[in-house]
């Protein structure tokens, strides 16, 4: 992998995010606010909710990756299986056939500098992706779907993103449709357990413990509250507002997965039936808000628009969810 150490901690020496993510974990009084990691979304799938079919060809996918990198992204997150509500499962061999040529093409053209993350819940797919040049495993099941995935991450000393979800994609619903006639019932997060923020925080803490038990170093882990995965529109907004307190409690950076999701359209008041690309501007605004609340790793479809919105809030002076002030340059390092 050239000059970069295989052990990826989201703050390896000399990385764009080293200053931000090598710093002490955020606290409720002083959330980290010195830098971000921006990952462009690169779905090598025919059926993703927003960009399905656009990046199946490795050459076109590499073109898209280079465009995002030139726009200011630190890297790309490559996936070969859609996780949108109602999506069908994709066999392991098909996932590998989709993502490995894309990762190899991106690495060949972009070199060692950018991050490449593999979005998968399967250890065999992750192994093939790491061999092709990926350095981070992004597991939306939080390490629960494949018992071999956490040991694989430990063995390879790679980065690891663990996400909370209430259910699997084939049993999920779009956030704005929960409770509608003919749709799934609105998720209920027990008030006695702290509601959605308390339940998700506890689940993420358990994931971190399991990862450590498997041999993954804490510094290699980013946690993802799973916006849009088994959450209603109010649930998603509550999680966003509670990010600072959650990051302080967990002691790890949190990932923002706002980009183009259905709750963004509901938040922005977009009409029913709009295409996800209509959510670009609202996604950028809500992602910037998430940064002000403490998110540090951003997974986005629209890199230029997101970075432009972040530039408008620099330097940020914004009351956080607990009333504290969050100050300091948030710019893309």
- Please give the pLDDT value at position 57: 83
264 and 302 Cβ atoms separated by less than 8 Å = no
State the distance between the two ends of the chain, measured CA to CA, in whole angstroms. Answer: 22
Q: Which of 177, 252, 289, 299 is catalytic?
A: 299
In a domain, 7, yes or no: no
Q: b vs e for 122-145, b when ≥16 Cβ sit within 10 Å of the residue's Cβ?
A: bbbbbbbbbebbbbbbbbbbbbbe
In a domain, 146, yes or no: yes
Please check the confidence at residue 13 and state whether its pLDDT lies above 70. no
pLDDT in tens, 276-293: 899 999 999 999 999 999
CATH number, position 204: 3.20.20.20
Lowest-pLDDT range of 34-48, 117-131, 234-248: 34-48
Please check the confidence at residue 326 and state whether its pLDDT lies above 80. no
| Helix (H/G/I), strand (E/B), else coil: 161 | strand
In a domain, 271, yes or no: yes
Lowest-pLDDT range of 51-60, 98-107, 141-150, 213-222: 51-60
Over residues 295-302, mean pLDDT = 94
299 is catalytic: yes
Please check the confidence at residue 319 and state whether its pLDDT lies above 80. no
In a domain, 187, yes or no: yes
Strands (E) located in 15-151: 37-43, 75-79, 115-119, 136-139
231 is catalytic: no
Q: What is the domain count for the chain?
A: 1
Q: What rounded mean pLDDT belongs to the chain?
A: 81
pLDDT above 90 as % of the chain:
61
Please check the confidence at residue 237 and state whether its pLDDT lies above 60. yes
Tokens representing 298 are 């951003």
In a domain, 302, yes or no: yes
11 and 21 Cβ atoms separated by less than 8 Å = yes
Lowest-pLDDT range of 144-153, 220-229, 305-314: 305-314
Identify the band that residue 271 occupies on the pLDDT scale cut at 50, 70 and 90.
very high
Tokens representing 7 are 């052990």
- Please give the pLDDT value at position 79: 93
- Please give the pLDDT value at position 314: 62
* Crossing angle for the helix pair 123-132 and 149-156, to the nearest 10 degrees: 20
Q: Which domain holds residue 114?
A: 34-323
CA dihedral for 109, 113, 119, 124, sign (positive or negative): positive
In a domain, 5, yes or no: no
Tokens representing 204 are 């993420």
In a domain, 114, yes or no: yes
- What distances in angstroms separate CA 57 from CA 41, 108, 181, one per listed residue? 15, 15, 39
Q: Which of 122, 231, 261, 289 is catalytic?
A: 261
- Please give the pLDDT value at position 18: 39
CA dihedral for 169, 175, 176, 179, sign (positive or negative): positive
Identify the band that residue 315 occupies on the pLDDT scale cut at 50, 70 and 90.
low
Please check the confidence at residue 27 and state whether its pLDDT lies above 50. no
How far is the C-alpha of 282 from the C-alpha of 310, rounded, in Å? 13
Identify the band that residue 21 occupies on the pLDDT scale cut at 50, 70 and 90.
very low
In a domain, 332, yes or no: no
Please check the confidence at residue 75 and state whether its pLDDT lies above 90. yes
pLDDT in tens, 173-229: 777 778 788 788 888 899 999 999 999 999 999 999 999 999 999 999 999 999 988
- Please give the pLDDT value at position 3: 35
């Amino acid at each position: 992998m050239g000059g970069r150490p295989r052990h990826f901690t989201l703050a390896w020496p000399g990385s764009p995010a080293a200053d931000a993510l090598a710093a002490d974990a955020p606290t409720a009084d002083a959330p980290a606010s010195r830098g971000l990691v921006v990952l462009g979304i690169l779905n090598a799938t025919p059926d993703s909710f927003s960009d399905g079919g656009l990046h199946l060809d490795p050459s076109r996918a590499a073109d898209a990756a280079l465009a995002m990198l030139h726009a200011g992204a630190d890297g790309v997150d490559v996936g070969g299986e859609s996780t949108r509500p109602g999506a069908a499962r994709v066999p392991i061999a098909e996932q590998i056939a989709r993502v490995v040529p894309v990762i190899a093409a991106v690495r060949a053209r972009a070199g060692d500098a950018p991050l490449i993350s593999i979005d998968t819940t399967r250890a065999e797919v992750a192994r093939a992706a790491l061999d092709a040049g990926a350095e981070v495993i992004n597991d939306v099941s939080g390490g629960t779907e494949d018992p071999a995935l956490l040991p694989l991450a430990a063995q390879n000393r790679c980065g690891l993103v663990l996400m909370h979800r209430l259910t699997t994609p084939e049993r999920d619903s779009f956030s704005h449709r929960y409770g509608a006639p003919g749709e799934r019932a609105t998720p209920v997060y027990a008030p006695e357990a702290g509601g959605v923020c308390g339940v998700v925080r506890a689940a993420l803490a358990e994931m971190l413990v399991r990862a450590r038990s498997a041999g993954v170093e804490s510094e290699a882990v980013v946690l993802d509250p799973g916006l849009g995965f088994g959450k209603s529109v109010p649930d998603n907004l509550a999680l966003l507002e509670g990010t600072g307190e959650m990051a302080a409690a967990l002691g790890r950076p949190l990932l923002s997965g706002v980009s183009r999701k259905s709750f963004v359209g509901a938040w922005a008041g977009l009409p029913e039936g709009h295409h996800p690309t209509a959510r670009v501007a609202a996604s950028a605004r809500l992602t910037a808000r998430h940064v002000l609340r403490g998110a540090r790793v951003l997974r986005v479809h629209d890199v230029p628009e997101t970075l432009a919105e972040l530039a408008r809030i620099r330097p940020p002076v914004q009351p956080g969810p607990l009333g504290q002030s969050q100050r300091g340059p948030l710019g893309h390092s």
